[in-house]
Amino acid sequence: MREPAVVLTDVGLALLGAYLGWRLRAARAGGVLARAGAVVMGGLASAALWGAIFHGWFPAKTATPAGLLVWMLVALSILVVAARVLDLGLAILAPRLRPTPRRAIVGAYAVGFAGVVLLVNESFTTIVRFYAPTLTFILITAVLQAIRARSAGWTLIAVGFAISAGAALLQQAKWSLHAVYFDHNAVYHVLQGIALVLLYLGFLRAPDASASV
Q: Is 210 among the domain residues?
A: no
Q: What is the CATH number of the domain that holds 56?
A: 1.20.1070
The pLDDT value recorded for residue 3 is: 80
- Res 30 pLDDT > 70: no
The pLDDT value recorded for residue 209 is: 57
pLDDT 10s digits, 128-140? 999 999 999 999 9
Higher pLDDT, 183 or 32: 183
Q: How far is CA 41 from CA 38, 46, 119, in A?
A: 5, 9, 27
- Res 212 pLDDT > 60: no
Q: Is 212 among the domain residues?
A: no
pLDDT 10s digits, 35-76? 899 999 999 999 999 999 999 999 999 999 999 999 999 999
Mean pLDDT: which of 24-33, 78-87, 165-174 is highest?
Answer: 78-87
> What is the chain's mean pLDDT, rounded?
92
Q: Is 98 among the domain residues?
A: yes
Q: Is 213 among the domain residues?
A: no
Q: Is 26 among the domain residues?
A: yes
Mean of pLDDT values over 149-155: 92
The pLDDT value recorded for residue 27 is: 75
The pLDDT value recorded for residue 76 is: 97
Q: How far is CA 67 from CA 17, 63, 148, 163, 186, in A?
A: 23, 7, 46, 29, 20
Distance CA 66, CA 83 (A): 26
Indicate the number of domains in the chain.
Answer: 1
Percentage of the chain beyond pLDDT 70 is 95
Burial (Cβ within 10 Å: 0-12, 13-18, ≥19) of residue 113: buried
Distance CA 128, CA 94 (A): 25
Q: Is 186 among the domain residues?
A: yes
Q: Give the number of other Cβ atoms within 10 Å of residue 134's Cβ.
A: 22
Distance CA 174, CA 182 (A): 11
pTM of the shown model:
0.90
Question: How big is the CA angle at 7 (ends 121 and 122), to the nearest 5 degrees?
Answer: 5
Closest by CA position to 56, among listed 42, 43, 67: 67
pLDDT 10s digits, 163-199? 999 999 999 999 998 876 799 999 999 999 999 999 9
Domain of residue 112: give its range.
4-205
Confidence of residue 102 (pLDDT cuts 50, 70, 90): very high
Strand partners, 182: 178
Q: Is 31 among the domain residues?
A: yes
